[in-house]
Amino acid sequence: MFMYNESEKNTKNMCDVLADCDAMEDALHEECGVFGMYDFDGKDVASTIYYGLFALQHRGQESCGIAVSDTNGPKGKVVSYKGMGLVNEVFTQESLEPMHGDIGVGHVRYSTAGASTRENAQPLVLNYVKGTLGLAHNGNLINATELRKELEYTGAIFQTTIDSEVIAYHVARERLNTNTVEDAVVRACRKIKGAFSLVIMSPRKLIGARDPFGFKPLCIGKRDNAYILASETCALETIGAEFVRDVLPGEVVTITPDKGIVSDMSNALPKEKEARCIFEYIYFARPDSHIDGVSVYASRIMAGKFLAMDSPVEADLVVGVPESGNAAALGYSLQSGIPYGTAFVKNSYVGRTFIKPKQSSRESSVRVKLNVLKEAVNGKRIIMIDDSIVRGTTSDRIVKMLRDAGATEVHVRISSPPFLWPCYFGTDIPEREQLIAYNRSIEEIKDIIGADSLGYLKLERLHEMVQGLPICRGCFTGEYPLEPPTEDIRGEYDK
């Protein structure tokens, strides 16, 4: 059952019918986006956090929230507001107006499984003996169940089903035995395993933490006398902040007026063991972001060029499936010399909300969201570039739409290798049996989706695509950077 309060009823209209088109389609989803801000001049940060979350909306569309505190006011007093839906649906001028505070954290969320409810929305605000914590988490822990049971047996009572609450509890417990909250965060980070980028607000400090593998991105920005932590650099540019640097894998940074940025790298791994999620570059991140010094847009252009080199075909037009396929399509065009064009019109007003669709709704959802420009494809041989094929339930419909519009040939090129394994670190790649590439040849997949030819990005091209950065390739190879859980508990606890 999905829960919403009075302020959310206005979102439950046409979207009841259209539902979540991305979920109905064969699309991947990211866990969430995090944003934090500390204004040393004492100015309110809630409205800026709102715009930062707006820029990170692509990372999660089910729920969002903001928590702020006044460092000069009563210690530990936190004002928070969160709800189900998009940022501009949940927040209004009236809800932001009372949120006074010079330090705050924000969150946009997409759940991979389990309950999508207001109780599971973030940031989490925890009151404990040392004060308060506001926490926003991007990623997925593989030892959350084990840690949760340990806490429950010692009397902990959980209010949510998200592993982020496990992190918050451990930070609070470690704080009882440390001199500073940042030391408590470091100790907690040594206990948790998996993918995490954290933004934590204490009464007088803003803290950012990134897991040792660097699965999820996190960066630092500055605007006037305020510091920002954000999942992507595009959020910094949206609010007019300058990029300072990335939070390094395994690093915990503490931001305060008296010391600025203080770093703790005691949780870092050797650089060769880092394992960034490759899908940040292929699909998740906005193309105008830079992650660990690499342009997302340039990576997608490069992927398209590699496809043209390794899987050439004669055609009249190269097109991308919006939005993430567009840059790779341009790269294919630049490398091959085949003209780049627009074949799809995307309905930008189809809301991606918290209503989960039924499997039977998938067919109509594609046409609700995408339509083909018949004049662009009629009588032409088309190369269609997409970022991935998961189950194949959308690709066949898009290929058919191109044929119905008069395309004489449709050649599909995918800017990632075939999915063969699930992901346990924050991407909702399902069990192997649900993956179209599992136990099937490329020729068989081509026939299923109805294409004239099919080509995937070669596995060895991934490192070139991100300029040699260490990456996680587990969903393609089954070789994970750390041992996955012995049982898949992604449906037991919502991430």
Active site members: 32
**CA–CA dist 100, 35 (Å, integer):** 17
- What is the largest distance, in Å, between two alpha-carbon atoms of the chain? 72
The amino acid that residue 164 corresponds to is: S
User: 358 Cβ partners below 8 Å, 6+ apart?
Assistant: none
345-356 exposure pattern, b = at least 16 Cβ within 10 A, e = fewer: eeeeebbbbbbe
Tokens of 416: 């990632």
Kindly state the DSSP code that residue 338 receives in the 8-state scheme: P
Distance of CA 192 to the CA centre of its chain: 20
CA 424 to each of CA 31, 111, 389, 463: distance values in angstroms, whole numbers, following the listed order? 11, 13, 18, 21
- β-strand partners of 141: 194
- Phi, psi (deg, nearest 5) at residue 83: -170, 180
Q: Pairing between strand 317-320 and 381-386? A: parallel
Locus of tokens 């009563």:
74
Residues 384 and 403: beta-carbon distance below 8 Å = no
Residue at token pair 């928070």: 80
CA-closest candidate to residue 200, choices 223, 217, 184:
184
